[in-house]
Amino acid sequence: MKQFHSFGWYAARIAPYLPEEAFRPVPSRLFGGLAYMLVLVSSIVTISLFDLHWLWNGLLSVVIGFCFAGLGFLGHEILHGTVVKRAWLRDLLGGIAFLPLCTGPKLWRKWHNATHHVHTQHEELDPDAWPTIKRLAQSRFLRWVYRIPFPIRAAFSFLSLAGMFTVHSLHMLLHFWKDFEKGNRRAVFWQFVLPWSVWIGLLLMIGVEKWLFAFVLPLLIGNTIVMGYISTNHRLNPLVPVNDPLANSLTVIVPKWVDILHFNFSHHTEHHLFPAMSSKYYPLVKQYIKQLRPDRYYEMPMTKALIALWKTPRLYHEQTELIEPREGYVYGTLGYGLNIDDLSHKVKENVIGKMVKEK
């Protein structure tokens, strides 16, 4: 087995080389949020007040969708405390930034900061990790899903990215509800209701047709953009016994202007090493990681990562392999034989058939 290290182990070795300001909040990130807000609000007002041709409304939907995604990336950063330090201001600004994607700040910090970051790619504890073949054996629903032919399943799972972030948020609300103390549940509930009230209020004001352009289409576009990144963050990596960001995370490469628009969200390995650091400094962190462990660091163009996701199944086998149970095709994961340029597989027996026979 490979030797794993915790994120603290890497952070302790890289931190001495970073400038002091890298560990301070960067409030100037809010100017980016303000720019997104101005474009978003003026686009929604334009759709609402004028009876434009649907092509113009469609174009404005794309612009609003890009703003939804950009604000989501900023919300992620704000709620890690890397923009402002005061807790109430962090939650207020983070809540506003996540309002388009309909996620509340308290729920997000529980789900993402306190759980996903602490237990990344842990088979049972990471709420964002994909299931193992053991779970398939226990779930009739999962076995039904994995009987659907692979190309149909792959196409459906890519289409579902258009709503996945918002749907997964609702799932997380139900998943974590019991874990919130009784006194906090009221706030979590209202933080969920408030964004939806804003958007349903808009529907009542402008009618269904304009609302589709002002909210629904942008929500689908925003979801697709954020999920485009999130789906590449860990899904080609193995499940791991130790939360080692070099083993369990992937950094994707996008054009520089995209990194500016998306607050360097592509630097996901760097983010897992220093989640409380502004992403402004991640390109610098990347240089040092590559010096420290060039053999263990994974990065690839985002398009390549998405193609690899399309072509590989999302079910873990023995932690380090991905298995297509219907045909018994087994692929490696990053660091365990997955070759992005040649996605070949081994063949195992029909695993679903065997499991059903054993039951």
In which residue are the tokens 């890289």 written? 14
d(CA 309, CA 290): 24
| Region of 11-19, 215-223, 229-237, 313-321 interacting with Zn ion (CB under 5 A) | 229-237
Q: In the complex with Zn ion, which residue's Cβ is closer, 78 or 338?
A: 78
Q: How many residues bind Zn ion (CB under 5 A)?
A: 1
Q: Tell me, what DSSP letter sits at residue 294?
A: T
Contact 348, 331 (CB under 8 A): no
Q: In the complex with Zn ion, which residue's Cβ is closer, 233 or 320?
A: 233
| Region of 82-90, 231-239, 282-290, 307-315 interacting with Zn ion (CB under 5 A) | 231-239
Q: Tell me, what DSSP letter sits at residue 46?
A: H
d(CA 108, CA 98): 9
What would you measure as the largest C-alpha separation in the chain, in angstroms?
64
Q: CA 259 → CA 182, 256, 263, 279, distances in Å?
A: 40, 5, 6, 10
d(CA 85, CA 89): 8
| Region of 2-10, 44-52, 232-240, 252-260 interacting with Zn ion (CB under 5 A) | 232-240
| Region of 170-178, 221-229, 233-241, 317-325 interacting with Zn ion (CB under 5 A) | 233-241
d(CA 207, CA 209): 6
Q: In the complex with Zn ion, which residue's Cβ is closer, 115 or 233?
A: 233
List the beta strands (DSSP E) in 160-250: none
Site for Zn ion in 19-38 (CB under 5 A): none
Kindly state the smallest distance separating residue 270's Cβ from Zn ion, in Å: 11
Q: In the complex with Zn ion, which residue's Cβ is closer, 109 or 153?
A: 109
d(CA 55, CA 317): 47
Contact 253, 283 (CB under 8 A): no
Q: In the complex with Zn ion, which residue's Cβ is closer, 73 or 215?
A: 73
Which of 57, 233, 278, 312 contacts Zn ion by CB under 5 A?
233
Q: In the complex with Zn ion, which residue's Cβ is closer, 75 or 195?
A: 75
| Region of 136-144, 226-234, 335-343, 350-358 interacting with Zn ion (CB under 5 A) | 226-234
Kindly state the smallest distance separating residue 230's Cβ from Zn ion, in Å: 8
User: By beta-carbon distance, which residue lies closest to Zn ion?
Assistant: 233
Tell me how crowded residue 250 is: count the other CB atoms within 10 A of its CB. 23
Element (H, E) at 59: helix 54-79
Of 188, 213, 203, 182, give the one whose Cα is nearest residue 58. 213
d(CA 228, CA 125): 23
Site for Zn ion in 33-92 (CB under 5 A): none
Give the x/- contact pattern for Zn ion in 128-167, rule: CB under 5 A.
----------------------------------------
- Counting contacts by CB under 5 A, is residue 231 touching Zn ion? no
Kindly state the smallest distance separating residue 151's Cβ from Zn ion, in Å: 28
| Region of 41-49, 228-236, 258-266, 350-358 interacting with Zn ion (CB under 5 A) | 228-236
Q: In the complex with Zn ion, which residue's Cβ is closer, 169 or 233?
A: 233
Give residues in contact with Zn ion (CB under 5 A): 233
